[in-house]
Chain A
């Protein structure tokens, strides 16, 4: 596997590349070469880079805390165990990892029951100022959460990638193994369903 290796740090001269310190600026793709060589520090740095966006994507796609945590753990496990399969000539480490994560999310979708989890502390009174505005905000958040929970995971995934990550139709199509036209249709239907559900709850 040919990869652009980062310049070894001072520790590399002492104990070899496996123990090299990991700078924050090292790209995920460069870190993958070290991860493939069994470098646990590089893996920890890679997890730090990719964990938050991965968790956000899994949580918003699945809307189930346990399932989203499990999918993230599985995705990073694959990143570690299958690191030697990564080929930088075929794309970035982030894109490779995102593909693993999305496949796991979509594989998991049939096992998820379509109910919305009530967040911890939902019914606890808040002592912060302007309780009326907070109540309005909480109501708006609860309405959008409930409506999103009624969409299917592919729709939530497309909405998250397009509106949350700012990805293009073509990038989303590649990540979801479909066409840009199909993604447009998926987004159009998702937005339309969402709009109708939100209008219904506003009338209630």
Chain B
């Protein structure tokens, strides 16, 4: 049985009301025991009981609203399958396709003797610089043997 201070008991009654069935299970027994011997707590409980009765009266009052217009609603077009869910099925395929493209490009660039199409039109120094750049690109993007195994 969880021990309660009178202040904690009053806080529970203040938020939950006077019905022990609505109190947290772990404090119910100790709260009832405390209320039996503490007149201040018993008074708080009596006041909460009166408020519960007022609330019950308010909650029982009839609701004066008109019925929902079903025909006006079903005349509206329904949304089809949500966009997010439809797109979700394509996501893995898109990721796989992107990865394949990157690897194919990297592999082509890493092939010996591969030069960019406009290499012949450039002066020799520019071709050498472009070749170095291609090698650096291939070095970064070419998978290692261990990565190949994973792929």
User: Which residues of chain A have C-beta atoms less than 8 A from B79's C-beta?
Assistant: 81-85
Q: Which of B1-59 contact A (CB under 8 A)?
A: 11, 14-17, 22, 47-48, 51-52, 54-59
B33, chain A: closest CB distance, angstroms: 22
Inter-subunit contact B59/A164 (CB<8 Å): yes
* In the assembled complex, B89 has its CB within 8 A of some CB on chain A: no
**Interface size, B (range):** 35 or more
- Chain B interface mostly helix, strand, loop or mixed? helix
* In the assembled complex, A144 has its CB within 8 A of some CB on chain B: yes
With CB as the reference atom, state the residue of chain A lying closest to B80.
Answer: A84
Inter-subunit contact B73/A72 (CB<8 Å): no
User: Which residues of chain A have C-beta atoms less than 8 A from B48's C-beta?
Assistant: 191
B91, chain A: closest CB distance, angstroms: 18
Contact with B along A51-86 (1 / 0, CB 8 A): 110011011100001001100110011001111110
User: CA separation between A109 and B14, bound complex, in Å?
Assistant: 25
Inter-subunit contact A55/B73 (CB<8 Å): no
* In the assembled complex, B150 has its CB within 8 A of some CB on chain A: no
User: CA separation between A114 and B31, bound complex, in Å?
Assistant: 37
Inter-subunit contact A51/B14 (CB<8 Å): no
Which of the listed residues B11, B22, B51, B76 has the most CB atoms from chain A within 10 Å of its own CB?
B51
Starting from the known contacts A81-B77, A85-B79, A191-B15, 14 additional A-B residue pairs (CB-CB under 8 Å) come to: A59-B64, A65-B64, A65-B65, A73-B69, A76-B68, A80-B78, A82-B79, A85-B82, A141-B57, A141-B61, A144-B58, A163-B52, A187-B16, A198-B54
Which residues in B have some Cβ–Cβ distance to A below 8 Å?
A: 11, 14-17, 22, 47-48, 51-52, 54-59, 61, 63-70, 72-74, 76-82
